A and B are shown apart, each in its own frame.
Chain A
Amino acid sequence: MKDGETMKWEHPRLVIYTNDKGVILEIEGDENIGDIPQKGGLMEDFWPLFYGIFPLKGADLDIPNAHVLDGIFHVTLRKEDRRYKISFYDVREKVAKLEQDIQQKHQQSIARFLQEKNSYPDLSCEILFRLGFLTFIKEGQQWRLLGKIPFWFLELFPHINLSSAYFDLPDIFPFLELFLAEEGEERLKVSGFWVEESPVGTEYILQANRVVYGDDDYVFIETINERFEDNYNIIQFAREQQLHFEKLRKTEKELRKTLDFKQKFISIVTHDIKSPVVGIYSMFNHLLGEPEFVKGISDEHQYFLQVISQELQNIQGYVDTLYQWSLVQSNDIELKKKRLNLKQLFEIILMLYKNQIEEKKLQVSLEIPEDIHIMADGIFVKNAFSNLFSNAIKFSHPGGKIEIKARVTDDYVEIVVRDYGMGMSPERIKEIYNFDKKMSVPGTQGEKGIGIGMNIVKMIFDFHRARIDIKSNLGEGTEFKVLFPAIN
């Protein structure tokens, strides 16, 4: 677009040429125009109006009616070769004329409104009434109704007759007492919201507008229920949600407290029971090993004593498991990790289960190289692997085979405990770590368990950042693979 096409004004009063950064290169035109910048200066330093304009993006730019140089100018920016031409056209006269026209039209409109109001007071408020406004004008210290009464007022105050006299508005709307007493120069003031309730319980949210025009003082009251409905619903909903959330948080807190107590209780009780049980079991076994003690006891009674010993061992196992479970559940574990030789660890486990292995005539192969180590808490990890191994024994058929293997990969130490016994269904594998499901399954010879073992095993491995995978098929046996982070 060329200057001539957009501008009626033939000659700009000032032309400035700049580079693409807004640095002034050349100035042409009327030197009496007012303070003008110097060459080498930045346009934006002199006129902040030009801040951010350079380099001009896209098409040419026109800034109409800019108040610069103590006047009003139409400013055009045009790119010419490698520089910008900025022209200032004086539009003061044109704008003055425009202002005059607007002012005149405005005054005519107001005069027409006042004329209509004075001639037909009811008619002038007809539109406001149709828009749901209740309109009052101040006369003396009181207020007089203008126009008709909207439906909402009739519903709120069926016994107030507004058309008969002057009113003290705060007598009807106490909320307005403050609003009407507010001082200020503003010609238009808008109140906050307030709620009025009808005798039948309908609530209206109201808002007042006060307009002071010349000597006249108006109050327009409207109901904003419809306009406010969405906002109201959002606030109501948000607060209801917040209350629900607070309730949930409180319930959760209570539950946590109860759970903590339960876990602490179990932990304390099992810890306290552990020592006497171990003591009884040790002393009882010691007695059974004393020839003097068993000398006069019949075979049947010796069998009973063996059963008692076995049961005591089971109780000790339960107490151990419960104690560890309570520690794991309450995250009360302090792992004392150290470098453990894996082969030695499994040799101890095999020793512990020597009797059961012999009873079931199982073949156990231990293929762990001497130099494999893991970083782990010896007590917890021994219990976790013992649990895997005891399961292998439990679910192996008499005369069956159990394999224990380990190897080192780049990132992991891989440990496998494999049996060829009963195996598990896919459903059972899915639920094996689920403490909520009662999963205890008797072994091939009716061996019992307390059904929380695998849950603990998984947690113990989790604490060690180790991963456990299960492969199993019904009737074919089970393979547990544990991946421990390798020691660098």
Chain B
Amino acid sequence: MVKKKICVLGAYSVGKTSLIQRYVKSIFSDKYHTTIGVKIDQKDIRLHSRDYRLILWDINGEDEYQHVKKNYLIGASGYFLVIDGTRRETYDVVLELKKLVDETIGDKPFLLLINKSDIMDEWEIDSILLMDMRKRNWDIMFTSAKSGMNVEEAFRKLAAKIVENE
């Protein structure tokens, strides 16, 4: 089985752990539980008649208390940048993290996930910000770990991008 390491990055409480839990275990909890260090889950998928094991690195949220360690990114075939649609400032964190990834592992396939799409009435992501994201030619997906919207699709899409990139 071919292993592919995928890192999930973003500010704290954007839903990184929830997205992985939804994808791997089909569960969701509303309670915020901060991730310390790294949590690794695995999921086997079949793509283009081939089996892959996705090693999902759920890396602690970036903030003043914890920082993403560069060497956690080494060996990643692709990554997710996750923002919380209800918190505008999480986009700024993602911009910083993108720089860090580029410096550390270079150009790798990635997806920008705008999570918490189930509560769009509380969103702070306006059309101007979306335009800024699109200008960067980033692949964007709207997800909800709570409802499961686009979660499976996002992981499969990134895996496909990784395979295509080989």
Q: Which residues of A contact B (CB under 8 A)?
A: 174-175, 177-178, 182, 192-197, 205, 228, 231-232, 234-236, 238-240, 242-243, 246, 250
Contact = CB atoms under 8 A, between A and B. Distances in A.
8 contacts: A178-B74, A194-B38, A195-B35, A195-B39, A228-B36, A231-B36, A232-B34, A242-B63
Interface in B35-94: 35-40, 42, 55, 61, 63, 65-66, 69, 71-72, 74-75, 87
B72 A192 contact: yes
A192 B32 contact: no
Contact of A192 (B13, B61, B65, B69): B69
Nearest to A253: B124
B110 interface: no
A17 B55 CA distance: 70
B155 interface: no
Contacts of B40: 174-175, 194
Given A193-B37, A195-B36, A195-B37, A174 B72 contact: no
B37 A235 contact: no
Interface in B103-129: 124
Kindly name the residue among A178, A238, A242 whose own CB sees the greatest number of chain B CB atoms within 10 A. A178
Nearest to A174: B40
Given A193-B38, A195-B38, A240 B75 contact: no
Given A194-B37, A239-B32, A178 B65 contact: no
Given A194-B37, A235-B65, A178 B72 contact: yes
Contacts of B37: 192-195, 205
A246 B87 CA distance: 8
Given A174-B42, A238-B65, A193 B36 contact: yes
A239 B69 contact: no
B75 to A, nearest CB: 6
B23 interface: no
A198 to B, nearest CB: 13
Contacts of B74: 178
Contact of A239 (B38, B39, B63): B63
Given A235-B66, A243-B13, A246-B87, A174 B36 contact: no
B55 A239 contact: no
Contacts, number: 57
Contact of B34 (A177, A193, A236): A236
A209 to B, nearest CB: 15
A231 B66 CA distance: 11
Given A193-B38, A235-B66, 18 more contacts: A174-B40, A175-B40, A178-B74, A182-B71, A192-B37, A193-B37, A194-B38, A194-B40, A195-B39, A197-B39, A231-B36, A236-B33, A239-B13, A239-B61, A239-B63, A242-B63, A243-B13, A243-B32
Kindly name the residue among A192, A194, A205 whose own CB sees the greatest number of chain B CB atoms within 10 A. A194
Contacts of A235: 34, 36, 65-66
A178 B13 contact: no
A223 to B, nearest CB: 12
A186 to B, nearest CB: 14
Contacts of A239: 12-13, 32, 34, 61, 63, 65
B32 A174 contact: no
A192 B87 contact: no
Kindly name the residue among A196, A205, A235 whose own CB sees the greatest number of chain B CB atoms within 10 A. A235
Nearest to B89: A246
Nearest to B69: A192
Contact of A194 (B33, B34, B39, B71): B39
Contacts of B35: 195
A178 B34 contact: no
A194 B72 CA distance: 11
Contacts of A178: 71-72, 74-75
Kindly name the residue among B12, B34, B35, B71 whose own CB sees the greatest number of chain A CB atoms within 10 A. B34
Contacts of B42: 174
A240 B33 CA distance: 9
A250 B74 CA distance: 37
A175 B56 CA distance: 10
Contacts of A234: 65
B66 to A, nearest CB: 7
Given A174-B42, A195-B37, A195-B38, A240 B65 contact: no
B55 A174 contact: yes
A241 to B, nearest CB: 11
A182 B69 CA distance: 14
